[in-house]
């Protein structure tokens, strides 16, 4: 089946940032077959893009997709991770909520143009099931944490779940299992090394929260270390490492991550909403560390849209370094698409080029905020939002058409999730005082 997308402003995101202003793109067998300007080839289906911006799908480098039921809960509450997130997860989180939350989150991500995401949470096999059902690419890791957690009493249990996921999805089109220890202080050194050994055994990525929390930074400072120097001493800093957040990096940390070939999942929205700080991404980028953007879970970043992350990234970095010229818009769009694909080590993804995967998003430019359009990259970073996404394809299959999911709809997903949420809501009531507390 050949599908022709015509009348599009195509941003290929290749090395030269090639654009086709009145472009067409042909997909066949899940890939881009051809693209260009002028006379378009024949196809079985023709889709008019209405002059919108067609670009590679966004890659979300860090999420806890299933955490939809936590959205807006205690958003302004300090230390909420230990005060109620962990306890509530232990008490009321279920396999069913993971599955239904993941389906809802995948819908939200597809509708915002995301075609691949990296995820860590509990019952991750359910997230994998949702990815396959909905045609979303997931790099998925069962959270390994040294405390009792949903689905696993011990970190060894979680590691066993990680390994069964690796075996179950060894050759999947949609799911690439990864290893996901929770963080630098929530997982013991011994378990971190076991995680690394498993990542090496199965030749996959390892992702964890690092250089994020104030108490984490204090913990290592008291020992004359940084989280990065600690991870390096354990052998975790290497090309398999996708370090999440990395807000508090020293120059030595940046040099270490660059030397070891590690990557960063930068989550500007989650970082600044929690008041944690602005990561030194100019310096990390200059050192050559591959990076892309993560939304974090709905509990931390609220929206699962990389449009929000791109704009926050731009304003935070320009402000931090007092430099308007820093990170031009097209570099930011690159980080959100191709940069994310590179950080995950994805092949044939992140660029619109013949032979590459037809994972792509069409952003409509009808809204007033998107006129006039001198610079499409700038429009994407500073003017566009998830609601502008008109069409999304993964592997050449239309997942979003005219701004709506083509296989299911949001009301149905929402209804299913709401039906499963009452016990969770009841458990959350116990933390009502905490949720409303403004002071520690």
What residues make contact with Zn ion under the rule CB under 5 A? 296
Nearest Cα neighbor of 285 from 319, 345, 326, 226 is 326
Long-range contact list for 369-372, CB < 8 A, 24+ apart?
none
Q: Which one, of 207, 203, 202, lies nearest residue 192 by Cα?
A: 207
Q: What is the DSSP letter of 149?
A: B
Looking up tokens 């958003």, which residue turns up?
75
What backbone phi and psi angles, to 5 degrees, belong to 375? -130, 105
Q: In angstroms, how far is CA 149 from the centroid of its own chain?
A: 22
Number of helices followed by number of strands (H, E) in the chain? 18, 18
Q: Which is nearer to Zn ion, 70 or 356 (CB)?
A: 70
**Which residues are 389's β-sheet partners?**
363
Question: Using omega within 30 degrees of 0 as the cis cutoff, is the peptide bond preceding 372 cis?
Answer: yes
Q: How far is the CB of 245 from Zn ion (least distance, A)?
A: 7
- Both tokens of 419, joined, read 């039906």
What's the closest the beta carbon of residue 207 comes to Zn ion, in angstroms? 9
Which residue lies nearer to Zn ion by CB, 296 or 388? Answer: 296
In angstroms, what is the minimal distance from the CB of 64 to Zn ion?
6
Q: Which residue is nearest to Zn ion (CB)?
A: 296
Q: Which is nearer to Zn ion, 209 or 311 (CB)?
A: 209
Please identify, using beta-carbon distances, which residue of 32 and 120 lies nearer to Zn ion: 120
Which one, 266 or 330, has the nearer CB to Zn ion?
Answer: 266
Q: Which is nearer to Zn ion, 11 or 67 (CB)?
A: 67
- Least Cβ distance, residue 270 to Zn ion (angstroms): 7
Beta-ladder partners of 244: 209, 265
Tell the smallest beta-carbon distance from residue 80 to Zn ion (Å).
13
- The residue among 208 and 392 lying less far from Zn ion, judged by its C-beta, is 208
Looking up tokens 């500007």 gives 268
Q: Nearest distance from residue 294's CB to Zn ion, in Å?
A: 7
Comparing CB distances to Zn ion, the nearer of 296 and 359 is 296
Using alpha carbons, list the distances in angstroms from residue 17 to 96, 337, 348, 356, 378.
43, 13, 16, 16, 14
Nearer Cβ to Zn ion (152/207): 207
The stretches of 169-286 forming alpha helices (DSSP H) are 189-201, 214-221, 227-233, 251-260, 268-273, 281-286
Return the closest-CA partner of residue 136 out of 115, 121, 119: 115
Provide, rounded to whole angstroms, the least separation between the CB of residue 332 and Zn ion. 21
Instruction: Tell me the C-alpha distance between 219 and 184, whole Å.
Output: 10
* Shortest distance, position 250 Cβ to Zn ion, whole Å: 22
């Amino acid at each position: 089946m050949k599908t022709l997308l015509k009348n599009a402003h195509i941003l290929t995101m290749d090395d030269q940032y090639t654009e086709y202003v009145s472009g067409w793109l042909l997909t066949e067998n899940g890939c881009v077959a051809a693209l260009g300007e002028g006379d378009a080839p024949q196809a079985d289906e023709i889709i008019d893009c209405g002059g919108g911006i067609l670009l590679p799908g966004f890659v979300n480098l860090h999420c806890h997709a299933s955490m939809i039921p936590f959205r807006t809960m205690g958003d302004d509450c300090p230390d909420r991770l230990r005060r109620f997130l962990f306890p509530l997860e232990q008490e009321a989180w279920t396999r069913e909520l993971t599955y239904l939350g993941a389906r809802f989150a995948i819908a939200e991500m597809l509708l915002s143009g995301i075609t691949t995401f990296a995820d860590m949470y509990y019952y991750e096999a359910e997230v994998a099931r949702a990815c396959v059902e909905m045609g979303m690419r997931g790099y998925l890791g069962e959270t390994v944490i040294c405390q009792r957690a949903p689905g696993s009493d011990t970190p060894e249990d979680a590691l066993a779940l990680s390994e069964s996921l690796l075996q179950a999805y060894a050759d999947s089109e949609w799911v690439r299992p990864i290893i996901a220890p929770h963080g630098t202080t929530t997982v013991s050194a011994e378990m971190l090394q076991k995680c690394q050994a498993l990542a090496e055994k199965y030749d996959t990525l390892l992702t964890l929260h690092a250089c994020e929390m104030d108490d984490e930074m204090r913990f290592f400072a008291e020992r004359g270390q940084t989280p990065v120097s600690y991870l390096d001493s354990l052998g975790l800093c290497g090309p398999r490492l996708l370090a999440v957040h990395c807000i508090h990096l020293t120059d030595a940390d940046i040099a270490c991550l660059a030397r070891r070939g590690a990557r960063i999942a930068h989550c500007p929205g989650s970082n600044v909403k929690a008041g944690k700080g602005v990561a030194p991404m100019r310096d990390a980028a200059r050192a050559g560390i591959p990076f892309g953007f993560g939304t974090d879970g709905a509990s931390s970043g609220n929206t699962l849209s990389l449009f929000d992350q791109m704009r926050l990234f731009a304003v935070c970095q320009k402000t931090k370094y007092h430099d308007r010229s820093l990170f031009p818009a097209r570099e930011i769009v690159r980080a959100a698409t191709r940069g994310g694909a590179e950080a995950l080590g994805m092949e044939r993804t992140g660029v619109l080029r013949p032979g590459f995967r037809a994972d792509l998003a069409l952003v409509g430019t009808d809204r007033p905020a998107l006129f006039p359009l001198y610079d499409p990259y700038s429009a994407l970073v500073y003017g566009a939002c998830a609601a502008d996404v008109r069409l999304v394809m993964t592997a050449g299959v239309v997942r979003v058409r005219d701004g709506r999911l083509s296989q299911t709809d949001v009301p149905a997903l929402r209804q299913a999730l709401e039906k499963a949420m009452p016990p969770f809501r009841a458990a959350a009531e116990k933390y009502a005082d905490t949720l409303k507390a403004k002071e520690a």
